Amino acid sequence: MDFTLSEEQLMIQQAARDFAQTELLPGVIERDDAQKFPEEQIKKLGELGFLGMMVDPKYGGSGLDTLSYAIAMEELSKVDASSSVVVSVNNSLVCWGLETFASEEQKQKFLTKLTTGEMIGAFCLSEPEAGSDATSQKTTAIDKGDHYLLNGTKNWITNGSTAGVYLVIAQTDVEKGHKGINALIVEKGTPGFEIGPKENKLGIRGSDTHSLMFNDVKVPKENRIGEDGFGFKFAMKTLSGGRIGIAAQALGIAAGAYELALKYSKERKSFGTEICNHQAIAFKLADMHTEIEAARLLVYKAALDKDNGNNYDLSSAMAKLFASKVAMDTTVEAVQIHGGNGFVKDYHVERLMRDAKITQIYEGTSEIQKIVISRSIIKQ
- Say whether 350 is catalytic: no
The verdict on 209 binding ligand FAD (CB under 6 A) reads: yes
Which residue blocks in the chain are alpha helix, DSSP H?
A: 7-19, 28-34, 39-47, 66-79, 81-88, 96-101, 104-106, 112-114, 231-267, 279-307, 313-337, 349-358, 366-379
How many CA atoms does the CB half-sphere of 341 hold within 13 Å?
12
Q: Which stretch binds ligand FAD (CB under 6 A): 29-37, 123-131, 142-150, 215-223?
A: 123-131
Could you tell me the smallest distance in angstroms from the CB atom of residue 252 to ligand FAD?
A: 17
Q: Are the C-beta atoms of 236 and 242 separated by less than 8 Å?
A: no
Distance of alpha carbon 365 from alpha carbon 300, whole angstroms: 21
The verdict on 222 binding ligand FAD (CB under 6 A) reads: no
Among positions 184-203, residues that touch ligand FAD (CB under 6 A) are: 201
The verdict on 132 binding ligand FAD (CB under 6 A) reads: yes
The verdict on 82 binding ligand FAD (CB under 6 A) reads: no
Site string for ligand FAD, 341-370 (x = CB under 6 A): -----------------x--xxxxx-xx--
Among positions 34-73, residues that touch ligand FAD (CB under 6 A) are: none
Distance of alpha carbon 71 from alpha carbon 83, whole angstroms: 15
* Interior angle at CA 158, CA 51 and CA 82, nearest 5: 65
Distance of alpha carbon 376 from alpha carbon 286, whole angstroms: 32
Q: Are the C-beta atoms of 360 and 324 separated by less than 8 Å?
A: yes
Q: Which is nearer to ligand FAD, 86 or 102 (CB)?
A: 86
Q: Which stretch binds ligand FAD (CB under 6 A): 117-125, 183-191, 250-258, 308-316?
A: 117-125
- Choose the catalytic residue: 199, 350, 363, 367: 363
Could you tell me the smallest distance in angstroms from the CB atom of residue 17 to ligand FAD?
A: 25
Candidate residues 24, 70, 124, 163; the one interacting with ligand FAD per rule CB under 6 A: 124
Q: Are the C-beta atoms of 353 and 334 separated by less than 8 Å?
A: yes
Distance of alpha carbon 311 from alpha carbon 24, whole angstroms: 34
Could you tell me the smallest distance in angstroms from the CB atom of residue 202 to ligand FAD?
A: 9
Q: Which is nearer to ligand FAD, 204 or 219 (CB)?
A: 204
Query: Would you please indicate which residues are annotated as catalytic (active-site) residues?
Result: 363
* Residues of this chain that bind ligand FAD (CB under 6 A): 89, 123-126, 131-132, 156-158, 201, 204, 209, 358, 361-365, 367-368
